[in-house]
Amino acid sequence: MLNKEEQQALLKLARNTIEQYVTKGMIPRFDSSDPAFSQTGGVFVTIHNSGQLRGCIGIIESDESIYKTVEEMAIEAATQDPRFEPINEYELKDIDLEVSVLTPKRRVKSVDEIELGTHGVIVKKGFASGIFLPQVATETGWSRKEFMEHLCEGKAGLSKDAYLDPKTEIYVFEAQVFGEKD
């Protein structure tokens, strides 16, 4: 778990990275002796503009240090989310950022093991997969069934009841989520 100062440092890193990359095409230097930033793991960076999603990209697992992963995912969320045009320098003043640092995933045998609002969920069947971060359940208010249907159909491109198929793999993880608006 990251403390408040470490969370603030990673948020500042994500913002500085996006601003420098969008305006100058470069990644700022980040120097820290804090061992928390050397740990590895999955990270998602989410960007909002006026309360609306503007970009969200992450990686479930990474061998890179957490600060490197934050830098990479910040750039990806700002410039490579296929749902949106890349962020431009005029938007920078209007965006707010959220970082999710993930625990390792673990496979579950039943959707009954999923705790909405606590667990992020990954579904995988064949080459298709989809992921929802834990906060999706809280933000949408979906039931477990609705959550799984949206994940399967909307994110993984599977049938909406694919989560009931024993061939579908279901994984859960937790996330420490913190944002500039906190």
Among 69, 102, 135, the domain boundary falls at 102
Over residues 61-80, mean pLDDT: 95
pLDDT of 131: 95
Residues 9 and 94 in one domain: yes
Q: Which two tokens stand for residue 172?
A: 């859960």
Q: Give the pLDDT confidence of 87-135 residue by residue, as tens digits.
A: 999 999 999 999 999 999 999 999 999 999 999 999 999 999 999 999 9
Total-model pTM? 0.88
- Cα 3 from Cα 36, distance rounded (Å): 9
Those residues with Cβ within 8 angstroms of residue 145's Cβ, 6 or more apart along the chain or in another chain: none
- Cα 116 from Cα 42, distance rounded (Å): 20
Residues 66 and 127 in one domain: no
Other Cβ atoms closer than 10 A to 180: 15
Q: Give the pLDDT confidence of 33-60 residue by residue, as tens digits.
A: 788 888 999 999 999 999 899 999 999 9
Task: Look at residue 69 and tell me whether its pLDDT is greater than 90.
Answer: yes
Task: Indicate which CATH number applies to the domain containing 81.
Answer: 3.30.700.20
Stated length of the chain: 182
Residues 71 and 114 in one domain: no
Residues 40 and 127 in one domain: no
- Cα 7 from Cα 65, distance rounded (Å): 15
pLDDT of 161: 97
Residues 11 and 98 in one domain: yes
In eight-state DSSP terms, residue 40 is B
Among 102, 117, 150, the domain boundary falls at 102
Task: Indicate which CATH number applies to the domain containing 168.
Answer: 3.30.1490.150
- Cα 128 from Cα 169, distance rounded (Å): 11
Those residues with Cβ within 8 angstroms of residue 135's Cβ, 6 or more apart along the chain or in another chain: 100, 117, 175, 177
Q: Give the pLDDT confidence of 151-181 residue by residue, as tens digits.
A: 999 999 999 999 999 999 999 999 999 999 9
In eight-state DSSP terms, residue 85 is P
**Coil, helix or strand for 29?**
coil
Residues 62 and 150 in one domain: no
Would you tell me the crossing angle of helices 66-79 and 4-24 to the nearest 10 degrees?
40
Domain containing 142 equals 106-174
Residues 128 and 96 in one domain: no
**Coil, helix or strand for 50?**
coil
Residues 74 and 126 in one domain: no
**How many structural domains are present in the chain?**
2
Q: Give the pLDDT confidence of 11-36 residue by residue, as tens digits.
A: 999 999 999 999 999 998 887 778 88
- Does residue 179 lie within any of the structural domains? no
